[in-house]
Amino acid sequence: MILRVGNASGFYGDRFDAVREMLTGGELDVLTGDYLAELTMLILGRDLLKDPAAGYAKTFLRQMEEGLGLAHERGVKIVANAGGLNPAGLADALRALAERLGVPVRVAHVEGDRLPPRLGVLAANAYLGGGGIAACLAAGADVVVTGRVTDAALVTGPAQWFFGWRPDDPDWHDKMAGAVVAGHVLECGTQATGGNYAFFTEHGADGPEGLGGPDGPDGPYRLRRPGFPLAELHADGTAVITKHPGTGGFVDTGTVTAQLLYETAGARYAGPDVTARLDTVRLTQDGPDRVRIDGVRGEAPPPTLKAGLCRLGGFRNEVVFVLTGLDIEAKAALVRAQVEDALGKSRPQQVSWELVRTDRPDAPTEETASALLRLVVRDQDREAVGRAVTGAAIEPALASYPGFHVTAPPGRGAPYGVFESAYVPAGEVAHTAVLPDGTRVPVPVPERTRPLEPVPEPPLPEPPPVPAGPVRRAPLGRVAGARSGDKGGDANVGVWVRGEPAWRWLVHTLTVDRFRALLPETSELPVERHVLPRLRALNFTVTGLLGEGVASQARFDPQAKALGEWLRSRRLDIPEELL
């Protein structure tokens, strides 16, 4: 038996047509959609404050205008976490839509992730596992919507239901870990099929015909519209990652490796269902656009569930001064001194300046002759980041550096959010499956748990790390791929190579100290290195790089999406044999 699970959404705002494309493009048993991220929960929390009937991903409901009928015709189950903070409300809206469309589908939902209200917190949600989804499908649901579940639960739930896996099976943890790994690969949609891929130029991303040239799965611009991924799951927990025939993009061990490293850390990848051992994952190219995942081992999950807390952090404002031509540093110093003097006693609680040298000498255009000086202010009081800052930034316009102007006038200041992680005992969370007939079924917590512990770094591979011969100064990205992302205020950077000699060199060369030297912004922050030999990969976690999380916009790249590409651009001595 094979369970074919496809994905049609990696975030709230992903390609709208993906639901139709996945339902009509090939064989499928279950279609999933991941709509929730840390920032999304904050957005939905604000929606819920304005309207108690809101709090779910409205895009999903619009997609179901066509998707419900298509899925019913093809016998495809739909499982999505689009319920956000109001899965019951979304389930009711889906029933009303199905009745209006005349599509006889049975809708169920999963709830219990919302934690008791906390002072100042817009949304507090525990990450649930796949048990509630499995119970809804077993009761005959055609559509299951959830609130906050782990991204992988969208796959572990259907897998439990389809294969009849039970916690008392002797290989329960291994099978579930295999489903978790498959789910993690699918969760970000086209990131598994060539999207955001470090080596994209090797796969038809450039060529003489330009963007108007031939497209399609074999054309030079097949990355213009990558197809969404699907997993063929087997009863033993193994899987093959692929995509529908005739769709763009590509699937190979590199795209799957990159996604496995995304927003993970060490060898133990913990969840409410199981702790998957990423250091046991084995990837094999199984044909064109097919990657087999096997060998995955699992352990009992931790006794606690991770929870996400979203709250308003205060108010924020921003001004970007444009500095053109000569004397950039002096111009920046002058306007900074003027603004600081003007703020005086009304200075906001947090004031940060950043000079971005986008200028070039003897530039052929005014824009390329210009640098940007970015002022960001934060305070609990909206007025403190509003009029006072506007006046301080704009009043010197005729009394400051030559060529004074800003990219846009400052506004009144806008609220910003903060994401925090917490952990709660699993037994305190009322994980509940609400079946199509309204019956409420409690989902039991795992009987076996294991506290989470780091895996010691394995012995470094031999023979000696550096191949004999000359070295050349070159960007790290000439031999290594990377993918990076955020978890609250922390960032991770996964780095991998594609051959054994390169792996021996990388694991000996890219130490924590070298990582900090290549990325000076991390030099004063805690950095951990995790070694994953089977993936020929290193995963670095940087604590505190993103301040209070993406919604606080504490950094130029607030989700660390391009941190890995910055690392790949940095130069070091690389053996010519590898280049």
C-alpha torsion sign, points 444, 449, 453, 459: negative
Q: What is the DSSP string of 132-198?
A: HHHHHHHTT-SEEEESSB-TTHHHHHHHHHHHT--TTSTTHHHHHHHHHHHHHHHTTGGGGTTTT-T
- Rounded to an integer, what is the distance from CA 125 to the centroid of its chain? 18
The pLDDT, as a whole number, for residue 466 is 67
> Which secondary-structure segment (H or E) carries 93?
helix 87-101
Separation of alpha carbons 47 and 55, rounded Å: 6
In total, the chain counts a number of residues equal to 579
241 phi/psi in degrees, rounded to 5: -90, 130
Classify domain 314-418 by CATH number: 3.30.70.360
Residue extents of the structural domains in the chain: 2-308+422-442, 314-418, 471-575
- With CA atoms as reference, report the closest residue to 21 among 63, 60, 72: 63
Q: What is the pLDDT of residues 36-70, one digit of tens each?
A: 998 899 889 989 989 999 999 999 999 999 999 99
Q: What is the pLDDT of residues 534-554, one digit of tens each?
A: 999 999 999 999 988 877 777
393 phi/psi in degrees, rounded to 5: -85, -30
- With CA atoms as reference, report the closest residue to 177 among 163, 156, 198, 149: 156
Three-state DSSP state, 239: strand
Q: What is the mean pLDDT of the chain?
A: 93
- The share of the chain scoring above pLDDT 90, in percent, equals 84
Alpha carbon separation from 198 to 295, 530, 562, 564 (Å, rounded): 26, 20, 10, 9
pTM of the full structure:
0.93
- With CA atoms as reference, report the closest residue to 273 among 149, 407, 112, 140: 149
Q: What is the pLDDT of residues 347-394, one digit of tens each?
A: 999 999 999 999 999 999 999 999 999 999 999 999 999 988 999 999
Separation of alpha carbons 242 and 6, rounded Å: 9
Three-state DSSP state, 569: helix
- Rounded to an integer, what is the distance from CA 481 to the centroid of its chain? 17
